[in-house]
Amino acid sequence: MKVRTRFAPSPTGYLHLGGARTALFSWAFARHFGGTFVLRIEDTDLERSTPEAVQAIIEGMEWLGLQHDEGPFYQMKRMERYSAVLAEMLAAGSAYHCYSSPEEVEAMREKQRAIGEKPRYDGTWRPEAGKTLPSIPADRKPVIRFKNPLDGEVTWDDVVKGQITIANREMDDLVIARPDGTPTYNFCVAVDDWDMQITHVIRGDDHVNNTPRQINILQALGATLPKYGHVPMILGADGEKLSKRHGAVSVMDYPAQGYLPEAMLNYLSRLGWSHGDDEVFSMEQMCSWFNLDHLSKSPAQFNPEKLAWLNNHYIKLADNSRLAGLVKPAMPDAQFDGAPPLDAVIGLLKERANTTVELANSAMLFYRQPQPDAALLVQHLTDAVRPALQSFVEQCATVAWNKADLSALMKSTLAAHGLKMPQLAMPLRLLVTGQLQTPSIDAVLELFGRDVVVSRILQGI
Ligand code: GLU
């Protein structure tokens, strides 16, 4: 059997973290078995579906690198196929026209509720052997209902949740086409999974209730059933359903906030799945490990600190020139002329950055004119320190311009003037960068270059 999985989002908003995680699991499972990953856009809800949302989903998948092998297939472009299947089902007797008006259906439900029964369609138009159907009301367009089995039960071995059984009497005859002929949700999903020969349906557990209906439709169509795995949802750290309150929920907010796709993928992989104690791994490893055996039955909790920690890990690994491409757009006010190259600055700063936005902010140190606070200057540029700075700047003219020699020069200057390191390092930081917090001062001076360092010190003392 060749594995075929799908991601089937409804384009009604952004690609949220839960959707991305479902897509990732389906993709990784297909990759693990050398199978096919299908992208299907479930756009039949015309009021809520938008082309912008389709775009957002595709962009999100591209950013994450979850490349689909087939599709995107749009349900709205498959209407002819659904009509053909509906006609076949009507002919085969697994579906029937129902002329009950919405008011009549509501009245049925009312009556059932009144006697404490679960509201359901009462089967007025369901054809049975020997049964005479009512006469067809004039000018009424019928819906099409699926003839759900009356007895027995639907059982499937959910790859996440274990065996699930639902009695057929719990389900009434589902409307599979509206009076205008448009097919309904569960029917389209079943036909698509059948046509696209999906072998494994991995999706959020908000769909568990749809599964027995889809299984019955697939069985009526004579389709081979896929395996189903319903992944528990992602909760916020407070145990509530993940929402805006917990930070960004749209995947595409994360690049804007300075996250790398490999950090996001690594993070999402561990939301509801594990491989021993492994926390940090590549997508090659994920794909080689991911086989549905270690999916968690309980909801995963979103932890922004862990995501930030992973992002820092991947920033440290990332190529400086790649990071420069991400960081530069976040530095609109930077003056790059005559300043050190951004790649080198990033090399110095990336160790401590959780996001590329943080990296951009800290890199600005090198790309703006220093404006040291006057009170801080008074505090750090004392008469005791001034002669040391004077001698330091003089020797800057001839010292070999590298971190080690600059560090040695600072130490010899301190010794000659009987000072301690902060007494020289702090005013140097203030004069050259305008701030007291910087990475190691010798590295900062090296990057700024001799001319800038000398001129800024001379201007200040
Ligand atoms: N379109 C559904 C959703 O976005 C998913 C359907 C499925 O995976 O079967 O929730």
| 67-104 tens-digit pLDDT | 999 999 999 999 999 999 999 999 999 999 999 999 99
Q: Is 316 a known ligand-binding residue?
A: no
* Count of beta carbons in the 10 Å neighbourhood of residue 17: 27
Ligand 1 atom nearest residue 22's Cα? 8
Domain boundaries of the chain, sorted by first residue: 80-177, 321-366, 374-460
Question: Is the dihedral angle over the CA atoms 80, 82, 84, 87 positive or is it negative?
Answer: negative
Cβ of residue 20 lying under 6 Å from some atom of ligand 1: no
Q: What is the CATH number of domain 374-460?
A: 1.10.10.350
Q: Following DSSP, what letter does each residue of 223-259 receive, concatenated? A: PPPPEEEEEPPEE-TTSSBP-GGGS--BTTHHHHTT-
Task: Give pLDDT tens digits for 292-336.
Answer: 999 999 999 999 999 999 999 999 999 999 999 999 999 999 999
Cα 334 to Cα 360: distance, rounded to the nearest angstrom: 10
Cβ of residue 193 lying under 6 Å from some atom of ligand 1: no
Q: For 284, how many CA atoms within 13 A lie in the half-sphere containing its CB? A: 0
Its CATH architecture, for the domain 80-177, is: Alpha-Beta Complex (3.90)
**Which candidate, 95, 26, 9, places its Cα nearest to that of 60?**
9
Q: Do domains 80-177 and 374-460 have the same CATH topology?
A: no
Cβ of residue 185 lying under 6 Å from some atom of ligand 1: no
**Which candidate, 146, 175, 141, 188, places its Cα nearest to that of 45?**
188
253, 20 contact by CB (below 8 A) = no
Cα of 258 to ligand 1 centre, how many Å?
29
pTM for the whole thing?
0.93
Cα 345 to Cα 339: distance, rounded to the nearest angstrom: 10
Cβ of residue 8 lying under 6 Å from some atom of ligand 1: yes
Mutate-to-test residue for ligand 1 from 4, 6, 7, 10, highest number of ligand atoms within 8 A of CB: 10
Question: Is the dihedral angle over the CA atoms 173, 179, 185, 189 positive or is it negative?
Answer: positive
Cβ of residue 203 lying under 6 Å from some atom of ligand 1: yes
Per-residue confidence of the chain (461 residues) as pLDDT tens digits?
899 999 999 999 999 999 999 999 999 999 999 999 999 999 999 999 999 999 999 999 999 999 999 999 999 999 999 999 999 999 999 999 999 999 999 999 999 999 999 899 999 999 999 999 999 999 999 999 999 999 999 999 999 999 999 999 999 999 999 999 999 999 999 999 999 999 999 999 999 999 999 999 999 999 999 999 999 999 998 888 887 778 778 999 999 999 999 999 999 999 999 999 999 999 999 999 999 999 999 999 999 999 999 999 999 999 999 999 999 999 999 999 999 999 999 999 999 999 999 999 999 999 999 999 999 999 999 999 999 999 999 999 999 999 999 999 999 999 999 999 999 999 999 999 999 999 999 999 999 999 999 999 999 98
Cα of 337 to ligand 1 centre, how many Å?
51
Cβ of residue 301 lying under 6 Å from some atom of ligand 1: no
| DSSP-derived secondary structure letter, 226 | P
Question: Is the dihedral angle over the CA atoms 250, 253, 255, 259 positive or is it negative?
Answer: negative
Ligand 1 atom nearest residue 203's Cα? 8
Strands 162-167 and 153-158: antiparallel
Cα of 203 to ligand 1 centre, how many Å?
7
- Residue linked to tokens 């949700």: 185
Ligand 1 atom nearest residue 193's Cα? 9
29, 69 contact by CB (below 8 A) = no
